[in-house]
Chains A and B, each alone.
Chain A
């Protein structure tokens, strides 16, 4: 009988020690735990938004939205399948006042099924469309000739290319 009481008391002591240990771990790692708490708080709004496209928009932001809009324009024109689009780097858009982190070609293809190249590409011969900024808006132009493309490439290559 005495052993049972002792075990119960020991169990309570261990429970108390455990709770104190948890409190200490939380205090020491408070910035990490506050991030986890933020994830918890985001749960209800995330659960209320099951739409796949909305989840992508929320996670990828402008990189996804603007890439999709470029692809959509070419799709509407019926040119998406045959297009190889030259997209200037992020620094170009920044200089023109647009917040657009340009995805690298593989990621652009993942987002949109549209084939793109960066200005440092070796495959310049097949480029048939060019993205630029006109009046703070994204424009897609068809390449007229090699001379025009060389000029555009030379301009875009002045901007720093980052991932």
Chain B
């Protein structure tokens, strides 16, 4: 019964996701479209209970699932566009696999299955979840509102109930679908994201190298742990990555659909973790640099505004509006901002701490494994062999890596509440998929791919 509910819910999310792709007029091949549609479906469904709450509609199973069905229908309302998406998808279904991929696929399937099982089986553990979104969702199911009796509890020790409703909404949906611990939305994100990454790696590298890189990526201990410990950071990393990916497509194809899509995805990433808003602004120099010469100043400004607008709007609604006008107790974000942002000493301290405590600290291998060494080694090799002549796409991915590398200590400087041991540690999850896609565009690996290609 639970499996049927999960399949139906996933199908509903998939239909919504296809609707979103049609809305943005994106034409992708199946290998990318299917996992991407699932990810988009989860993002859309995370907005539904939240919007119902904003409209004060009681969050019953009936209202939530009716709204989810209605959303899927509305997103597919433009029959011409969505029919085209569906037609192309069914027209091009083919699946090929080489024998040498099998060991990788079997091992990765085992790793993924363990994560899915633990997500389903174990009750929610992280304190940030049980003292915030999970307790809110548990009582929302009983009391049919997110603004429930949890706010009558002494919340002096936590700010977690005041965080945006991304997880709360998804937990409500999955609890109503028959999963008392919720959480399986994270497995949908994990499985879809892994499939998407494999497809993206296979686009530019030999499948053997794609398997090696993806396996090294899956073996990042901290990253993997958060595929079954439901929290904000893994999902935030996924949607942040998707936004950057769409931005690289915009630079390559100059189609504004990709820019709008990238902007919307950055909005979702901000809805998941509000401080992502600051990181969104870090991409404006890249936008200006890449479009300089192609566009006039006015158009450049317009592109920049388009890119950050959804993030600003979602921040305004999910954080400012929701906290100010809905929640019974107000959570003052302004009090948390560093009153001396121009005194950069704390930024440099944070930057140093990130290296000494996390990246090169005593726990570096148990936190992030050997992936950063792989990235650093191959980056150095390309820089030396190709005399710093990186491809345009590789440069865009490296820029995104730099945004996280500089941006996280900057966020810690701006918002001192974001500590090294929790916020920065988990915030670094965002950097690894970006590193992976840089590696997909690394010329040393491209050359090796060409050689392997001669073998089959």
Contact = CB atoms under 8 A, between A and B. Distances in A.
A binds B: yes
B98 interface: yes
A116 B153 CA distance: 7
Interface in A36-60: 36, 39-40, 43, 46, 52, 55-56, 59-60
B130 A107 contact: yes
Nearest to B206: A14
A113 to B, nearest CB: 9
B221 interface: yes
Contact of A106 (B104, B114, B131, B455): B131
Contact of A59 (B100, B107, B123, B211): B123
A8 to B, nearest CB: 8
Interface in A85-113: 103-107, 109-110
Contacts of A106: 130-132, 135, 150, 153, 155, 157-158, 160-161
Interface stretch (B10-18, B212-220, B286-294, B320-328): B212-220
Nearest to A43: B117
Interface residues of B, number: 52
A15 B208 CA distance: 9
B121 A55 contact: yes
A109 B215 contact: no
B98 A14 contact: yes
B10 to A, nearest CB: 22
Contact of B455 (A10, A19, A105, A107): A10
Taking chain A's interface residues, is the majority helix, strand, or loop, or is none over half, making it mixed? helix
Contacts of A163: 127, 157
B454 interface: yes
Interface string A109-136: 1100001111011110000000000000
A77 interface: no
B422 to A, nearest CB: 11
A120 B156 contact: yes
A60 B134 CA distance: 15
A116 B130 contact: no
Of B135, B153, B208, the most chain A CB neighbours within 10 A belong to B153
B454 A10 contact: yes
Given A105-B155, A118-B157, A29 B369 contact: yes
B157 A17 contact: no
A28 interface: yes
B176 interface: no
Interface in B356-378: 365-366, 369-370
Contact of A116 (B102, B138, B154): B154
Interface in A124-163: 163
Contacts of B110: 40
B123 A115 contact: no
A18 B156 contact: no
A109 B153 contact: yes
Nearest to B220: A32
Of A18, A36, A56, A103, the most chain B CB neighbours within 10 A belong to A18
Contact of A22 (B117, B138, B215): B215
Nearest to A57: B123
A73 interface: no
A115 B152 contact: yes
Nearest to A21: B212
A55 to B, nearest CB: 6
B454 A28 contact: no
Contact of A11 (B99, B127, B215): B99
Given A29-B370, A59-B122, A110-B138, A18 B456 contact: no
Interface in B90-128: 98-104, 107, 110-111, 114, 117-118, 121-123, 125, 127
Contacts of B369: 29, 32
A43 to B, nearest CB: 7
A103 B219 CA distance: 32
Contacts of A117: 154
B312 to A, nearest CB: 30
B372 to A, nearest CB: 13
Contacts of A39: 114, 118
Contacts of A104: 127, 131, 157-158
Contacts of A29: 219, 369-370
Interface of B: 98-104, 107, 110-111, 114, 117-118, 121-123, 125, 127, 130-132, 134-135, 138, 149-150, 152-158, 160-161, 180, 208, 211-212, 215-216, 219, 221, 224, 365-366, 369-370, 452, 454-456
5 contacts: A22-B104, A25-B212, A28-B370, A39-B118, A59-B122
Given A39-B114, A123-B154, 13 more contacts: A13-B456, A14-B100, A25-B219, A31-B365, A32-B221, A32-B224, A32-B366, A33-B219, A43-B117, A104-B158, A106-B150, A106-B155, A107-B127
Closest 6 CB pairs of A and B: A10-B455, A10-B456, A110-B135, A14-B100, A106-B131, A15-B100
